[in-house]
Structure 1
Amino acid sequence: METFAIPGVGGIIEKVVDSVTYILIQDRYKADCPLERGLIEIPAGKIQAFENIYNCLRREVREETGLEITMIEGEGDTLVYEGNGYKVLNYTPFCSIQNIEGTYPIMVQIFICRAAGELLDKSDEARNMRWVSLEELEELLDKKEKHFYPMHVITLRKYLKIKSTNADIPA
């Protein structure tokens, strides 16, 4: 029997306070993945059949963190085509990631976004939601990489590299 990868979406949620950029991280706490409990991750989840990827990101972030997405990079450039009984969404994520070995066959589209609201203390899928500066994130990745959900390590390193390259460019 064939097994197919599960489509998912995730968000690197940014906020800027006094010219310092922070992102939201959380500890993974999914009931169906007990061996991954406590690993550091970014909010992410599965896309329902025919669900708009942006609506899914908004839903997953709200369910896991209590925050409401206010901006998703690239959403304004999205194209929609309708024809022959289909409605097709064309979008460009920050990056795409896929587990090609392990216990969970998932492919995730990651977007950079902003959100507003108050963080939950905990949810059914996450604990210890917190904002970390990019400096703190880099230190965590350097010192405790094995404490991160493997799928997000390269994504976060890519994000940090791009942010450090663009640090001298005014926003």
Structure 2
Amino acid sequence: MEAFAKPAVAGIIEKEIDEKSYILIQNRCKESAPNEEGLIEIPAGRVREYENVYDCLRREIYEETGLEVTSIVGEDESTVLELHGQRIVNYTPFASSQCIDGNYPLIVQAFICRVKGVPLHESEESKNIRWISINELGKLLTIEPEKFYPMQVATIKKYLRSKMII
């Protein structure tokens, strides 16, 4: 039987504190993937059938962190086409990654966003939800890349390069 990759989204959640840049990270906690327990990740999850990617990102971030997304970079530039009984959203993510071998046949579209609220300490799918300075994140990723969820390493590196951290 033919199988297909599953679409997903991820959020690089930015925050400024005393003129320092931070992003939100968490540790994976998924019963379906015990070998990934504790790996550092950014919030992410699968897109439901016919769910707009921006709505999915808002839902996943809220479910995993308790935070409400207030803005997503590029959302205001997206377009929706309605034609022949179909609604199509055209968008540009910050980064895209595809798992071509391993545990999950995912294609993940990552977006940069901002939120409001106070993050949960943990949820059903994540623990140790916290803000980390991008400088500290860059050091950690450089010294101990094995501590990160592989699907997101290239995306986080791209983000840090865009901020001239690595």
Scaled to the shorter chain, the TM-score interval is over 0.9
Q: 2:29 & 2:145 partners in 1: Cα distance?
A: 18
Helix, strand or coil for the counterpart of 1:164? coil
Tell me, yes or no, if structure 1 residue 10 matches structure 2 residue 10: yes
Deviations 1:74-102 (A, max 9, x none): 00001000010100000000010110111
Q: 2:161 & 2:105 partners in 1: Cα distance?
A: 27
Q: Which contiguous aligned blocks of 4+ residues in structure 1 show a shift greater than 2 angstroms?
A: none
Q: Which residue of 1 aligns with 2:90?
A: 90
Helix, strand or coil for the counterpart of 1:31? coil
Q: 2:55 & 2:30 partners in 1: Cα distance?
A: 21
Q: 1:37 & 1:144 partners in 2: Cα distance?
A: 16
Where do 5+ consecutive residues of structure 1 fail to align?
A: 166-171
Where do 5+ consecutive residues of structure 2 fail to align?
A: none
Identity of aligned residues (%): 54
Q: 2:129 & 2:103 partners in 1: Cα distance?
A: 25
Q: How does 1:147-158 map to 2 (within 5 A)?
A: 147-158=147-158
Q: Which residue of 2 aligns with 1:61?
A: 61
The alpha-carbon deviation at position 34 of structure 1 amounts to 1.1
Conserved? CA contact 2:67–2:119, under 8 Å? yes
Counting matched residue pairs gives 165
Helix, strand or coil for the counterpart of 1:100? coil
Q: Which residue of 2 aligns with 1:168?
A: none
Q: 1:47 & 1:37 partners in 2: Cα distance?
A: 22
C-alpha RMSD of matched pairs (Å): 0.9
Give TM-score scaled by structure 1 length. Answer: 0.95
The alpha-carbon deviation at position 59 of structure 1 amounts to 0.3
